[in-house]
A = this chain, B = another copy of it.
Amino acid sequence: MSPPDGSGRGRPRDESREQAILDAALELLVEVGYERMSMVAVASRARASKATIYRRWPCKDQMVVEALRRRAPEAHVPADTGSLREDLAAEVRLMAEVVSGPDGAMLVGVLRAASESPQLAAVIQANVLQHKTEMGSCLMQRAVERGELADIVDAAPLMEVILAMIFMRLLVTGEPLDDAFVEHVVDEVALPLLAGRSGRLAESSNT
């Protein structure tokens, strides 16, 4: 007995099934790498039919991107704390929390898989970095409106540097991503970089 609206499509998707499939995809990605991660293997791991999977995700890229997006913190409007320094600190803290949290090990696995797969790297590059850059632009726009920054500047190098500093701790030095790290990034790197790129910070940080 179909519901009155008569559609199979109208039926709410089984969210927990979808999530199980995406979880299986990430597990496999970390275990075998991007090239060897097949849709067939994902289907088998998630006890789903290939048809179900292909109907929902026509290709591997889309599946991986969606799996990563769902693990990312809610797409959020960055907190407006009233100052550029605190806005930046909130973003850096959030990024540090995500990579240090329960999904951190999975994320390291994905990044390692990416370093061996130009295709996956490009997918991550386009989705993560671009998303962070949009966020950074939003913070800078606000700072200009508040009169804290003289000009708006390209957010891409700033976000690249912040991500690089986080990844270096995560993947190389193993140093903690704690409050001291957040302050280090914001006060010793992000704000001076913005001051050097824009016509200085109106409200200078710690000259």
Contacts and interface: CB of A to CB of B under 8 A. Distances in A.
Interface of A: 108, 111-112, 114-115, 117-118, 121, 124-125, 154, 157, 160-161, 163-165, 167-168, 170-175, 184, 188-189, 191-197, 200
Contacts of A173: 114, 121, 124-125
28 contacts: A111-B172, A114-B172, A114-B174, A115-B170, A117-B174, A118-B174, A121-B173, A121-B174, A121-B175, A124-B173, A125-B173, A154-B188, A157-B184, A160-B168, A161-B165, A161-B189, A164-B164, A164-B165, A167-B168, A167-B171, A167-B172, A171-B171, A188-B197, A189-B193, A191-B196, A192-B193, A192-B196, A194-B196
B191 A157 contact: no
Contacts of A167: 164, 167-168, 171-172
Nearest to A125: B173
A166 to B, nearest CB: 8
A165 B193 CA distance: 14
A155 to B, nearest CB: 11
Contacts of A175: 121, 125
